[in-house]
Homo-oligomer: A and B are copies of this chain.
Amino acid sequence: MTPVIPGKVREIRLARVPEGLPGRGDFTVAEVPPPVPDAGQVLVRNRHFLVFAALRTLIGGEVEDAPLPPLRPGDPLFGPAVGEVVTAPEGGALRPGDTVLHMAGWREYAVLPPEQCTRLDGALPDPAAHLGQGAVAYGALTRAAEVRAGDTVLVTGAAGAVGSSAGSVARLLGAGRVVGSTGSAWKADRLTAELGYDAVVLRGAGSFAARLAEAAPQGVDVVLDTVGGEQLAAAVQVARHGARFALVGALRGQLSPQGAGGTAPVELDGYRLILKGISLRGYTGADHPGVDAEWSARFGSRLRSGEIPFPSTRIAGLAQAPQAFEDLLAGHHFGTVVVDL
């Protein structure tokens, strides 16, 4: 049976290099002929894709040491997505109807080589939950921060995609107390009510470091930092001797009106890191390829049962994606931001 594909399909493109924070007007919804796979390629109908702040680092100009080249005006955006295979090469491992995870989001249809599609064999009841960042929190806490039973854990940016999962993950790994930071009281309430946080510190006027010290009077053993900048510096101040920091995000830079959004400079005192025996370790999933499988093996059944929540903001329809990105950078969203197609 030949699948029915529309004569025109849509994708989100960069319209111009933004000045300051990107807004919906910096993107276009383009109507294009459907992509045509060659004999070795897979055609995927996307169902969900991720809206994520790190995309800003690719659309604001050159960022040194970036893993990918910057996007130019006219380029389609990309990022994590979940879709269904429409057609696949004869004799390969993929079949029409398979659910796959891949990196060609922000479009209705994608053409990819099979090796860039990960088949979701033990698919979760909500396939969009495969866009959740629990595995990143798990990898950062186990590989970079080496969390131990009883540790006090600080998660900066606790309402973000990684942070909203990190409270539950830290609990599963035995943390004694979990403290977060975020920008709004309603987010703080939800984090403590539903998502494993014991206390949440609000950023804003006055000394963040002083509020943090109040929330963690005994100091912190582990820091999972998704923000950088002054929140990271404050975390060093309240860190206990031997504290271990996993650096996983730089929202401070990505959500700032200044600059290209790629950097989160922080002034640290090296002597204090020495005296306190602190370690800071940068973490990305790409550097730890075994983590996803370990996360699924250890906690897949609790993800399927809903015991581990998937905190998300759902956006209906491709055309809403630019607004969703603008709102994400403005701090209006909670958890993993997913566009459903």
Interfacial residues, chain A to chain B (CB-CB below 8 A): 57, 63-67, 144, 225, 228-229, 232, 241-242, 247-250, 252-253, 262-284, 287
Contact B264 A270 (CB under 8 A): yes
| Total copies of the chain | 2
Partner among B225, B262, B267, B281 whose Cβ is within 8 Å of the Cβ of A279: B281
By beta carbon, the residue of chain B nearest A269 is B263
**Could you jot down 10 A-B contacts, CB within 8 Å?**
A66-B275, A144-B279, A229-B270, A247-B270, A247-B273, A248-B274, A249-B274, A266-B267, A268-B268, A277-B284
If A65-B276, A277-B282, A284-B277 touch, whether A271 touches B57 (CB-CB below 8 Å) is: yes
By beta carbon, the residue of chain B nearest A286 is B277
Interface SS majority for chain A: mixed
If A279-B280, A280-B279, A282-B279 touch, whether A271 touches B250 (CB-CB below 8 Å) is: yes
- Given A228-B271, A250-B269, A275-B282, 5 more A-B residue pairs with CB atoms under 8 Å apart are A66-B275, A249-B274, A266-B267, A277-B283, A277-B287
Contacts of A280 in B (CB 8 A): 273, 279-281
Q: Would you give the shortest CB distance from A224 to chain B, in whole angstroms?
A: 12
- A120 to B63 Cα, complex, angstroms: 54
In the complex, the 3 A-B pairs of residues with the closest C-beta atoms, listed nearest first: A228-B270, A250-B271, A273-B282
Partner among B64, B250, B272 whose Cβ is within 8 Å of the Cβ of A270: B250
By beta carbon, the residue of chain B nearest A225 is B270
Q: Would you give the shortest CB distance from A226 to chain B, in whole angstroms?
A: 10
- A282 to B244 Cα, complex, angstroms: 10
Contact A67 B253 (CB under 8 A): no
Contacts of A284 in B (CB 8 A): 274-275, 277
